[in-house]
Amino acid sequence: MEGAYDEIISDNPFFRDLKNEYTNLFQHCITQSWIICVPRVGILNTRVFTVEDFCAHILVPSDELPETHYSTLTEKQVTVTNKVITLEVTKGLPLQSHILFEETFYTEDFIKYKVWCIESALEPSTTTSDNVVTKDCLLSINDCIDLLWTQAAGRHVLDQIEQNVQIFLKKHSCLPIAISTLREAISELYTLCLQTTLQNRRLREKSKASKHILDNIKLAVESYMQHLLFESLFKTICTSCAYEDSHLNKKIRNMSDIQLRDLDIKKELYHAVPKAKQILSKIDTYSSVLEKILCLKQALNAINKNDNSYNVVLLTADDLLPVFVFLLIKSGLPNWYSQLTYMKEFRFSCVGKGDSDESAFLITTLEAVIEHIQSGALAGPPDPESHYYYDSNLTEENLQSNTQRRSSLTESISTSETNSREETLEYVFELIKANHTEQVQAILEKNQKHLKSIQQNEKSILKFALEESLNNNNDDDDDDDDDSTESEIYQKLCHPLCNCKKCWCKISKNLLKTSPTVTSRDSHGLTPLHVACIHGKAAIVEILLDMGADVNATDLNESIPLHYAASRGHQNALLLLLHSGADINKPNIDKNTPLHLAVNNGHMNCVKALIYFAEHSRKRIIVNCTNESGNTPLHLAAKWGYEGIARLLIENGAEPSRLNKHNKTAFDCAHNLKILQVLKSCTPNLYEYIHITSSDIKTLSCKSDNLEYLKLEKLSVKNSDYVNNPTKTIENLKRIERILQAISYGDVKLACFYLNINYDTFNENTNTVKESLCHPLCECQYCKRKSQSHVSDFDINFSDTNGFTALHYAARFGLEELCKILIHNKADVNCTNRKGQTPLHLAAIYNKTKVISLLLDNGANINAIDVAGNTPLHNASDMGNIGATKELIKYNPDISLLNASERSALDVAKKKVHLTIIDLIEKYSSKL
Amino acid sequence: MMTSAPSGTHNFKVVLLGEGCVGKTSLLLRYIEDKFNDKHLTTLQATFLNKKLNINGKRINLSIWDTAGQEKFHALGPIYYRNSNGAILVYDITDEDSFVKVKNWVKELKKMLGSDIVLIIAGNKIDLEHERTVPLEEAESYSTMVGAKHYYTSAKLNQGVEELFLDLTREMVDRFEQNSQADVSRTSRVLVVDDETPVQTSCCSGNRST
Ligand SMILES: Nc1nc2c(ncn2[C@@H]2O[C@H](COP(=O)(O)OP(=O)(O)OP(=O)(O)O)[C@@H](O)[C@H]2O)c(=O)[nH]1
Ligand SMILES: [Mg+2]
Ligand SMILES: [Zn+2]
Ligand SMILES: [Zn+2]
């Protein structure tokens, strides 16, 4: 790993003295293949070493157990396990020392001997010098900051790096998009940062004394720089990798049903997959390359954790790749290619080492995995039923039961193949998959006829029987006849020709199993039409539809065949279904419509087909419908970076400003500037469509700038009018949606228009209070009418279904002017949304400093807590918003408040390593 | 005093290539595990291993990359072997197909990396000499023809493994020193794969190839 300990042994004074001053002893060691232990440089006080010192560090392998047991030349017993040397001492605890590395030496005449560089001396008496670096290995951004802070005895080095970065960002307000140019620019910055760092006297001297320290300092500088730059740097990388990412996403989305067994992954590794997946999907939370690489390493190490029975499963390259492929597919990250590019191109501290370290190996592995997915060498899940087996909370039991189910299925298929007499439903599914159109048709038609004839005799009973057999589970008969053969079934009947309900039930159940028709379903509720759509066999889809297949049959996921055709990108099948009356807006169990699925998997052809079909057949397709997580199709297109699809959706009425359940708009989901531009450029400027005529606008009701008065009035509004506010009609919901949308576009005028606030009057009157009410407390008709006009019409505090008011949005998007207008129109500054957030919370999250002070000046509660117990200061600390934190601190927040995770705002800042914020809060608290 | 000359250590990357089941992983484990009693192999230790050598005063940090032999991963080869200083092409002396595969690897590597890479061909599983199907003479003459050293190894009996890696390392050191003499301006090995690397004028790099 980077930062793993290394030193040049031949420069180590201990080794040098042994070699030069005690030549005989040294030569003897070599000829006897004894192991020489060398305490790492700097650990021993520089003094003259005695022969005893050397003898205590020479290990002679024992005869019986030469791998693990040794004795020193001073006759002490030594054991070695897991790279730790344990030395028995006469008194007290045994002495332990880590083996830092092994170096194999060859002499001129190729005699081999080994040297172990060890962490501490193998003598209890030796005193260690104080010039020791405590951290050997940098494992996080915290370690890096620690190193630079403690080694330089202060913050100044960190500050200087920060300053360099600030200047850099100011100079390059727009970073170059081409990776090579970008890399060059950042590399220059890194060199600069390193130079300024090494101007520090302490650091310079320490790094001169040890190459290891120098390497660590380089790495720390690089990581801290990356940490500071991350936001703008990574966005830029994402933009330049937008094309590759969206293509990769399409590939990954279409394989998202893939199963461990589809990838030939060793069974022994199954148990570790959920843990590894959890670790790996956090990779996007790390800002430095160092941490991202460590994340990869941890994920892979998790795979190899001992299984419960003490056996270490050795992971070879052949095992590693498929597991990693699986993890990548399931991780749900939209920008793997960008992640790779960042790791590959922006490591500067290790130049010259080439590809020779473990980090390079990890990055290359990631690259190989991406290449493997990209190349299309992987087919999607081979079996339709795969869809049902994957559970995002993979557990061992899950996996086991899956494999069991799988094997029983293959058995049934194989038996049906060998035994041609049995044309089971599974067999028909196999035929569909293999595109044997005629055979499918023949079997289904034959059975249908057969069934019809029986049906004519006993219609009602059969119907009952069919129903019974569909709900297998409420079959409380003592006989478990699922697997019984035909002859056995007849033996179980009251009489071979009996017609009673119970017997019918048994016969028809067997009949269904052996004689599938076009309406038959398997245990997942799949009909032949579903299966034909999964595999995109348009010819078979056509036949099945002709035979009367139910085009809107739902399986256990409440998915209709149209869902599958859309999600797998089978345009022909999809069009056939649509023309046969498939429900274009049908939500499945996750509330995904076919449009969601086509978009999610990047199937432009199907998205087009859905939209154009709807247009021509005058069916309405709901472009802005939301799924279980509140995502519209446009959210998905934005997230995965499908530019063409996003454009198409917007042209057909998709609204990028809709919020999903995480309060994210499609803009927020866009992870690169390219897709963001698509979203923005395609969004029509709503303002243009609406011609505001002065007659439509009611005059502004209140023009007072007197804040005290406003506060007073707000209280009274709360107590009286607020209670009888207009009922939440659909009309109002629609209206608030339009208002919020206008706000999200930053269109203050339009928002005012919808709110019935005269924007121009407001503007004129903020300066001149002339035209205001006769007197703040006046009750004359004119004033009364004026002050009530807006309340009666539309409540300014009305919220959408997620509890967002206009003021929330104005605060979130930083529209200071609109905030003023709203507050002047009696908007409640402390209203909360469903998550308990006030407008101040949102302003803190999105770092809208002016809005923050405006809200606080107008009575916003500085210590308001949301449902997670966070105050605005928590939010600002969490996001690293320096401006917001500064602003909030001016208003004396209570910093002792803990959120639901028992963290104060300071804790939050520390966790995210926002140094300036930590500083600000600490300074503030010391003043208290 | 202690001068930590940055160029004091050579960092070399070595890839193991060959068909599935010829014994790549076994060779690697045999070479590394040798003395260290470390039952606690972590994940990557089977796919990526480091070994520090000091040959006659020269420090070498070997990083050895195992690759997947399965055919479906063949296309990933270039990602793994780029920037390699050495490649060990392993075949199984009892399996003719695996030797054909080695020939293909040689062709591919020559095409992609030119003569920058040190090639070693290893006939593994010589403990199964009686089942040999790859003729001895053919293997050796082929190796000479393509300029690769040929070794016989048995991962099982630990024969020829250390010699193979040691000779490879020495060869890489020699090659490296030759190259840095031949072309002083080439500080690190630059693979001419992408067009962004500065184009070298023909007058200085013309007679660099050996
Ligand atoms: N008899 C004998 N068997 C060997 C030798 N080396 C490896 N094997 C066996 O050959 C089989 C394959 O060895 P691996 O090391 O996994 O081969 P590999 O080249 O890594 O294979 P892939 O990882 O699939 O590419 C194992 O069963 C080993 O025990 C050897 O020198 N002699
Ligand atoms: Mg292997
Ligand atoms: Zn009966
Ligand atoms: Zn009045």
Scan for tokens 């190193």, then name that residue. Answer: A147
How far is the C-alpha of A409 from the C-alpha of A652, rounded, in Å? 44
How far is the C-alpha of A191 from the C-alpha of A198, rounded, in Å? 11
Instruction: Report the domain count for chain B.
Output: 1
Identify whether A522 is part of a domain. no
Q: What is the pLDDT of residues A511-570, one digit of tens each?
A: 555 677 888 888 788 889 999 998 888 899 999 998 889 999 988 888 999 999 999 889
Give the per-residue pLDDT at A469.
Answer: 53
- Tokens read off for A161: 């790096």
Identify whether A546 is part of a domain. no
The CA B27 to ligand 1 mean position distance, Å, reads 8
Identify whether B190 is part of a domain. no
* Phi, psi (deg, nearest 5) at residue A795: -75, 125
Using the predicted structure, report yes or no on whether residue A391 has a pLDDT greater than 90: no
Of the candidates A394, A444, A412, A447, the residue with the CA atom closest to the CA atom of residue A523: A412
For helices A437-457 and A459-470, give the axis angle rounded to 10 degrees: 130
Identify whether B116 is part of a domain. yes
CA of A461, nearest ligand number: 3
Of the candidates A152, A176, A209, A169, the residue with the CA atom closest to the CA atom of residue A7: A209
Identify whether A427 is part of a domain. yes
Using the predicted structure, report yes or no on whether residue B37 has a pLDDT greater than 50: no
How far is the C-alpha of A877 from the C-alpha of A569, rounded, in Å? 44
| Same domain? A606 vs A732 | no
Strand pairing of A84-87 and A58-61?
unpaired
* Phi, psi (deg, nearest 5) at residue A61: -65, 140
Task: Write down the H helix ranges in A4-129.
Answer: 13-21, 23-32, 51-55
| Same domain? A359 vs A264 | yes
Q: What is the pLDDT of residues A867-893, one digit of tens each?
A: 889 999 999 999 889 999 999 999 999
Whose CA is closest to atom 1 on ligand 1? B125
Contact indicator for A917, A885 with CB cutoff of 8 Å? yes
Provide CB contacts within 8 A for A111, sequence distance 6+. Answer: A30, A31
Q: Name the helix (H) or strand (E) containing A211.
A: helix A211-240
CATH number for position A54? 2.30.180
Which residues from chain B sit within 8 angstroms of residue A337, using beta carbons?
Answer: none
CATH number for position A671? 1.25.40.20
Q: Of A678 and A863, which is predicted with more confidence?
A: A863
Identify whether B192 is part of a domain. no
8 Å CB contact of A83 and B38:
yes
CATH number for position B39? 3.40.50.300
Identify whether B36 is part of a domain. yes
8 Å CB contact of B76 and A312:
no
Structure confidence at residue A497 as a pLDDT band (50, 70, 90): low
A316 touches chain B (CB under 8 A): yes
How far is the C-alpha of A96 from the C-alpha of A143, rounded, in Å? 25
Task: Write down the H helix ranges in A9-95.
Answer: 13-21, 23-32, 51-55
How far is the C-alpha of B15 from the C-alpha of B63, rounded, in Å? 9
Using the predicted structure, report yes or no on whether residue A482 has a pLDDT greater than 50: no
Strand pairing of A84-87 and A95-106?
antiparallel
Residue by residue, what is the 3-state secondary structure of A703-753?
A: CCCCHHHHHHHHHHHHHCHHHHCCCCCHHHHHHHHHHHHHHHCCCHHHHHH
Lowest mean pLDDT among A37-51, A71-85, A872-886: A37-51
Give the per-residue pLDDT at A457.
Answer: 60
Provide CB contacts within 8 A for A919, sequence distance 6+. Answer: none
Query: Exposure pattern of A269-284 as b/e (b: 16+ CB <10 Å)?
Result: bbbbbbebbebbbebb
Identify whether A783 is part of a domain. yes
Identify whether A136 is part of a domain. no
Cα of first residue to Cα of last residue in chain A, in angstroms, is: 45
Cβ–Cβ contacts within 10 Å for residue B175, how many?
19
pTM score, two decimals?
A: 0.69
Q: Name the helix (H) or strand (E) containing A115.
A: strand A112-118
Domain of residue B37: give its range: 3-185
Using the predicted structure, report yes or no on whether residue A398 has a pLDDT greater than 50: no
Which residues from chain B sit within 8 angstroms of residue A354, using beta carbons?
Answer: 11, 13, 83, 188-189
Give the per-residue pLDDT at A784.
Answer: 56
Give the per-residue pLDDT at A508.
Answer: 59
Query: On the CB side of A50, how many CA atoms lie within 13 Å of its CA?
Result: 6
Taking the CA atoms of A26, A30, A31 and A35 in sequence, report the sign of the dihedral they define.
positive
Give the per-residue pLDDT at A413.
Answer: 37
How far is the C-alpha of A337 from the C-alpha of A183, rounded, in Å? 16
Cβ–Cβ contacts within 10 Å for residue A23, how many?
10
How far is the C-alpha of A359 from the C-alpha of A364, rounded, in Å? 8
Identify whether B204 is part of a domain. no
Domain of residue A167: give its range: 141-240
Identify whether B154 is part of a domain. yes
Substitution candidate for ligand 1 out of A314, A318, A319, A321 with most atoms within 8 A of CB = A318
Contact indicator for B73, A375 with CB cutoff of 8 Å? no
How far is the C-alpha of A872 from the C-alpha of A856, rounded, in Å? 11
A20 touches chain B (CB under 8 A): no
User: Looking at residues A377-381, what average pLDDT do you find?
Assistant: 61
A356 touches chain B (CB under 8 A): yes
| Same domain? A366 vs A454 | no
DSSP track, A376-442? T-S---SSTTHHHH--SS--HHHHHHHHHHHHHHHHHHHHHHH-TT---HHHHHHHHHTT-HHHHHH
Whose CA is closest to atom 13 on ligand 1? B23
Helix (H, G, I), strand (E, B) or coil at A888: helix
List the single residue in B with minimal CA-CA distance to A361: B48
User: Looking at residues A235-257, what average pLDDT do you find?
Assistant: 87
Q: Name the helix (H) or strand (E) containing B107.
A: helix B96-113
What residues pair up with A115 in beta bridges, in sequence order?
A36, A103
Q: What is the pLDDT of residues A828-843, one digit of tens each?
A: 999 998 889 999 999 9
Task: Write down the H helix ranges in A515-618.
Answer: 528-534, 538-546, 561-567, 571-579, 594-600, 604-617
Identify whether A383 is part of a domain. no
Strand pairing of B86-92 and B118-124?
parallel
Identify whether A779 is part of a domain. yes
How far is the C-alpha of A560 from the C-alpha of A198, rounded, in Å? 65
From residue A526, alpha-carbon distances to A381, A398, A444 in Å are: 16, 21, 15
Nearest to B83 among A10, A80, A355 (CB): A355
Of the candidates A459, A458, A462, the residue with the CA atom closest to the CA atom of residue A511: A462
The CA B24 to ligand 1 mean position distance, Å, reads 6
How far is the C-alpha of A133 from the C-alpha of A213, rounded, in Å? 8
CB-based burial of residue A514 (10 Å sphere; 0-12 exposed, 13-18 middle, 19+ buried)? middle
Q: What is the pLDDT of residues A776-823, one digit of tens each?
A: 555 565 555 555 444 435 778 888 878 889 999 999 988 998 999 899
Identify whether A379 is part of a domain. no
Percent of chain A with pLDDT over 70: 75
Structure confidence at residue A150 as a pLDDT band (50, 70, 90): confident
| Same domain? A420 vs A463 | yes
How far is the C-alpha of A640 from the C-alpha of A631, rounded, in Å? 13
Nearest to B4 among A11, A315, A321 (CB): A11
Lowest mean pLDDT among A581-595, A650-664, B143-157: A650-664
A370 touches chain B (CB under 8 A): no
Structure confidence at residue B106 as a pLDDT band (50, 70, 90): very high
Instruction: Report the domain count for chain A.
Output: 6
Query: On the CB side of A356, how many CA atoms lie within 13 Å of its CA?
Result: 22
Identify whether B207 is part of a domain. no
Structure confidence at residue A316 as a pLDDT band (50, 70, 90): confident
Give the per-residue pLDDT at A698.
Answer: 38
| Same domain? A765 vs A900 | yes
| Same domain? A206 vs A258 | no
| Same domain? A508 vs A625 | no
A366 touches chain B (CB under 8 A): no
A724 touches chain B (CB under 8 A): no
Lowest mean pLDDT among A239-243, A687-691, A809-813, B49-53: A687-691
8 Å CB contact of B50 and A358:
yes
The CA A302 to ligand 2 mean position distance, Å, reads 20
How far is the C-alpha of A340 from the C-alpha of B189, rounded, in Å? 23
Lowest mean pLDDT among A299-303, A310-314, B128-132: A310-314
| Same domain? A764 vs A905 | yes
Q: Of A153 and A238, which is predicted with more confidence?
A: A238
Report which listed range, A358-367, A413-422, A751-760, A767-776, is most confident. Answer: A358-367
8 Å CB contact of B63 and A357:
yes
Task: Share the mean pLDDT of chain A.
Answer: 78
A67 touches chain B (CB under 8 A): yes
- Residue ending a domain, among A217, A240, A263, is A240
**Which atom of ligand 1 is found nearest the CA of B154?**
31
| Same domain? A648 vs A729 | no
Q: Of A457 and A800, which is predicted with more confidence?
A: A800
Contact indicator for A592, A623 with CB cutoff of 8 Å? no
| Same domain? A843 vs A919 | yes
How far is the C-alpha of A233 from the C-alpha of A228, rounded, in Å? 9
Contact indicator for A757, A700 with CB cutoff of 8 Å? yes
CA of A787, nearest ligand number: 4
Give the per-residue pLDDT at A165.
Answer: 93
Length of chain B: 210
Residue by residue, what is the 3-state secondary structure of A284-346?
A: HHCCCHHHHHHHHHHHHHHHCCCCCCCCCCCCCHHHHHHHHHHHHHHHCCCCHHHHHHHHHHC
Structure confidence at residue A751 as a pLDDT band (50, 70, 90): confident
